[in-house]
Structure 1
Amino acid sequence: MAKAFFVTGTDTEVGKTLVTTALMRAAKEVGKKVVGYKPVASGCELVDGELRNGDANAMQREASIPLPYAMVNPYAFAPAIAPHIAARLANESIQSGHISQGLARLKETAADWILVEGAGGWRLPLDEQHFLSDWVKREHLPVILVVGAKLGCINHALLTIEAIRRDGLSVAGWVLNRVDPDMQHFQENAETLKRLISAPFLGELPWLSDEEIGYPEHFLDIAALL
């Protein structure tokens, strides 16, 4: 059966999709069949009568196995706002059972790995009472953390890892992504994170040019995940 990892971030816009698709490509390079899963997405556009999300599209393209869009992203909402608010505006509800059914269908494919990408940070509300992290806990998924390298990232990273472990889950690894090219004392912050985070370090993505961004997997080492 396929091994599933959940990719979360220290915040929104820290490069979860960049890292997720890079991990997918790195897995394919070592012979793994891999698919991506984006359970909940907002900020979607209508394409051929179907709401589609750019992040989910990228994951669909990287999959080793052709999948219909709905299998990659079961909950898609148009407004680029918190998904639980977008769902309410659309008179819908996000059901964790439906998300689990989608994951189970992916596990029935020929995939070796499933990369599940969250939305926002760890405590993403699905409704007024439940979080996406509750679902991750129920599915017992090991977590990969994307740390967006910017002012405040040490606090955000350590608090997120504390919350993940308090939920009884393991941190399978973490990636440092330089989202602010002008961050002062970047190297000192990076060394502090490496010293304080007791989980496998999977790599550091520098500020990438348009030419380099096509090959972020070259900056990752997935040996700890194999």
Structure 2
Amino acid sequence: MAKTFFVTGTDTEVGKTFVTRALMRAAREAGKKVLGYKPVASGCELVEGELKNSDALTLRAESSLLLPYAMHNPYAFAPAIAPHIAAREANEPISIARIGEGLARLKETAADWIFAEGAGGWRLPLDERHFLSDWAKKEHLPVILVVGARLGCINHALLTLEAIRHDGLVVAGWVLNRVDPQMSHYKDNAETLKAMISAPLLGELPWLPDDGGTAAGFIDLAPLLK
């Protein structure tokens, strides 16, 4: 059965899809059959009569197996707003059970690894009482944290790690993604993060406005193979 990693971020717009794509490509280059899973996505467009999200399409394109779009992204909402608000407006409540069923179907395929990408940060609401992190907790998923290197990232990273561990989940690794090429004292901040985060560093990605597939070259999968 495929091993699943949950990819979360310190915030929105920190490059979760960019990093997930790099992880998937590195895994494929290492001989793994991989699948991408985007349980919940907002900001979708109607394509051939079906709402589709650009991030989910990226993960689907990077997957080793050709599957229907809905298997990669069971909840797709048109407005580019918080998913729980989009779900309320669409009168389509987000069910943790349905997200779990979607993952179970992917695990029945020939995939070796599945990378499930979250939305926003760790505490993404699904409704007034549930978070996407509740699903990750229910599934006992090892977590990969994407830290977007920008002002405030140290605080955001440490608080997110604290929340993940408080939920009883293992941090399989983290990736430092340089989302702001103009960040002051980047190297100093990077060294602070490396010193303070007690989890394997899977990669430090430089500023790559158009990665062209090269981001995978900065990924070290060794900690995930243990």
Q: Root-mean-square deviation (CA), in Å?
A: 0.6
Q: Deviations over 1:160-200 (max 9, x none)?
A: 00000000001000000001110000000000000000000
Q: Distance in 2 between matches of 1:162 and 1:14?
A: 18
> Structure 1: which 5+ residue stretches go unaligned?
none
Question: Offset at 1:45?
Answer: 0.3
Tell me the amino acid that sits aligned with residue 164 of structure 1. Answer: I
Q: Deviations over 1:79-129 (max 9, x none)?
A: 000000000011110000000000000000000000000000000000010
| TM-score with structure 1 setting the length | 0.98
Q: Distance in 1 between matches of 2:77 and 2:209?
A: 30
Tell me the amino acid that sits aligned with residue 219 of structure 2. Answer: L
Question: Offset at 1:214?
Answer: 2.5
State yes or no: 1:223 paired with 2:209.
Answer: no
Tell me the amino acid that sits aligned with residue 177 of structure 1. Answer: N
State yes or no: 1:208 paired with 2:213.
Answer: no
Q: Distance in 2 between matches of 1:214 and 1:59?
A: 13
Counterpart position of 2:51: 51
Counterpart position of 2:42: 42
The 5-angstrom pairing of residues 104-143 of structure 1 reads 104-143=104-143
Counterpart position of 1:173: 173
Question: Offset at 1:148?
Answer: 0.2
Tell me the amino acid that sits aligned with residue 103 of structure 2. Answer: L
Q: Distance in 2 between matches of 1:30 and 1:60?
A: 18
Residue aligned with 1:8, SS:
strand
Identity %: 76
Q: Distance in 1 between matches of 2:183 and 2:153?
A: 11
Tell me the amino acid that sits aligned with residue 81 of structure 2. Answer: I
Q: Distance in 2 between matches of 1:130 and 1:208?
A: 35
State yes or no: 1:196 paired with 2:196.
Answer: yes
Question: Offset at 1:48?
Answer: 0.5
Residue aligned with 1:119, SS:
coil
Q: Distance in 2 between matches of 1:111 and 1:192?
A: 37
Tell me the amino acid that sits aligned with residue 90 of structure 1. Answer: A
Counterpart position of 1:13: 13
Q: Deviations over 1:36-67 (max 9, x none)?
A: 00000000000011000000000000110111
Residue aligned with 2:7, SS:
strand
Question: Offset at 1:209?
Answer: 4.0
Tell me the amino acid that sits aligned with residue 159 of structure 1. Answer: L
Counterpart position of 1:74: 74
